[in-house]
Amino acid sequence: MYIVRDILNCKPGKVRALVDKFKKVSAVMQRSGVAPPRILTDAGGGPFWTLVLEFEAETIDGYAAMENKVMGDAEIGAIMAGYHDLVESGRREFYKVEG
């Protein structure tokens, strides 16, 4: 089992708009039988306006297949239009669950 985290640093004041987009994406994912991510926002510490999407996957290849399915969905593409206007930077982390 793996935990995959997409960590997005939003532009000032833009995290709520991105949360709203990902909530809509999560609903589409759920309807299509794909487990949606947990959506987390910073509660303190640094940097401000951070959003984290946390996914669980049995394998990294399984995660990649899910991502390809989601990224190819036209409805999700429409929801995510303008996404880059909300984000300054980001990164992805992969963790193997050991216990």
**CATH number (domain holding residue 87):** 3.30.70.100
The domain total for the chain is 1
The helix, strand and coil proportions of the chain, stated in percent and rounded to the nearest 5, come to 40, 30, 30
Helix (H, G, I), strand (E, B) or coil at 43: coil
Could you tell me if 28 and 18 are in contact, meaning their C-beta atoms sit under 8 angstroms apart? Answer: no
d(CA 22, CA 11): 16
pLDDT tens sequence across 52-94: 999 999 999 999 999 998 889 999 999 999 999 999 999 999 9
Domain that holds residue 83: 2-96
User: For residue 14, is pLDDT > 90?
Assistant: yes
Does the CA dihedral 25-27-10-15 come out positive or negative?
positive
46 pLDDT band (50/70/90 cuts)? confident
